[in-house]
Amino acid sequence: MNKFLKKIVIYGLASFIVLNLIAFLSLYFLGKSSFYKQQFVKNGVKETTFDYIVLGSSTGLTTLDTKLIDSLTHRSGLNISIDDSGLSSHYLMLQHFYLSGKSTKKLILAVMPDDLENEKPKLNGNDYRFLPHNNEDEVQTFFNEIEGDNKIIYQTSKYVPLIGVSYFNTELFFPGILSIFQPTKRNLFDQNGNYSYPTINSSKKLEKTSNKIKKLEYKNPYLTKIIDFCRLNKVKLIIYQSPIYKTEVIFPDELNCVNQCSLFNVSEFFYDEIHVNSKGRRICSEDFSKNSFFLN
Partner 1 sequence: MLFNSIEFFVFLPLVFVLYWMLQKQKLAWQNGLLLVASYYFYACWDWRFLFLLMFSTGLDYFAGLMMQKAKNEANRRFWFWLTISINIGFLGVFKYYNFFVDSFADLINNFGFQVHYYTLNIILPVGISFYTFHGLSYVIDIYKRRIEPERNFVEYALFVSYFPLLVAGPIERATHLLPQIKKKRSFDYSKSIQGVKQIIWGLFKKVVIADNCAFFVNQIFDNSANYSAPELWFGSILFAFQIYGDFSGYSDIALGTSKLFGIDLLRNFNFPYFSKDIADFWRRWHISLSTWFRDYLYIPLGGSRGSNWQSVRNTFIIFLVSGFWHGANWTFIIWGFIHALLFLPLLLSNSNRSSLSNSNYSLKDFPKILITFAFVCLAWVFFRADNLTESWNYISGMTNFNDLSFQFFYKNSKYSLISLICLLSIIWMIITEWRNVKRNNYEIQLSKCNLFILLLMIFFMGSFKNQMSFIYFQF
Q: Judge whether 30 and 179 are in contact, CB under 8 Å.
A: yes
Least CB distance from residue 28 to partner 1, whole Å? 15
Residue 252 neighbours by CB distance under 10 Å = 12
Q: Of the candidates 47, 170, 207, 295, which one interacts with partner 1 according to CB under 8 A?
A: 170
What is the chain's length?
Answer: 296
Q: Cα separation of 122 and 241, whole Å?
A: 21
Least CB distance from residue 187 to partner 1, whole Å? 8
For residues 139 and 153, which CB has a smaller minimum distance to partner 1 in the complex? 153
Contacts of 148 (CB under 8 A, 6+ apart): 122, 123
- Residue 165 sits in the site that holds partner 1 (CB under 8 A): yes
- Residue 245 sits in the site that holds partner 1 (CB under 8 A): no
- Residue 168 sits in the site that holds partner 1 (CB under 8 A): yes
- Residue 167 sits in the site that holds partner 1 (CB under 8 A): yes
Handedness of CA 214, 216, 220, 225 (dihedral sign): positive
Q: Of the candidates 36, 143, 173, 197, which one interacts with partner 1 according to CB under 8 A?
A: 173
- Chain mean position to CA 104: 17
Least CB distance from residue 197 to partner 1, whole Å? 14
Q: Cα separation of 91 and 105, whole Å?
A: 16
CA dihedral 32, 36, 42, 45 (to 10 degrees): 110
- Residue 204 sits in the site that holds partner 1 (CB under 8 A): no
Q: Cα separation of 264 and 267, whole Å?
A: 9
- Residue 4 sits in the site that holds partner 1 (CB under 8 A): yes
Restricting to residues 184-203, name those near partner 1 by CB under 8 A: 187
Least CB distance from residue 168 to partner 1, whole Å? 7
The string over 23-61, giving b where at least 16 C-beta atoms fall within 10 Å of a residue's C-beta and e elsewhere, is bebbbebbbbbbbbbbbbbbbbbeeeebbbbbbbbbbbb
- Residue 156 sits in the site that holds partner 1 (CB under 8 A): no
- Residue 15 sits in the site that holds partner 1 (CB under 8 A): yes
Least CB distance from residue 1 to partner 1, whole Å? 5
Question: Interface with partner 1 by CB under 8 A: which range of 4-12, 96-104, 139-147, 231-239?
Answer: 4-12
Please report, as ranges, the residues that interact with partner 1 according to CB under 8 A: 1, 3-4, 7-8, 15, 18-19, 22-23, 162, 165-170, 173-174, 187
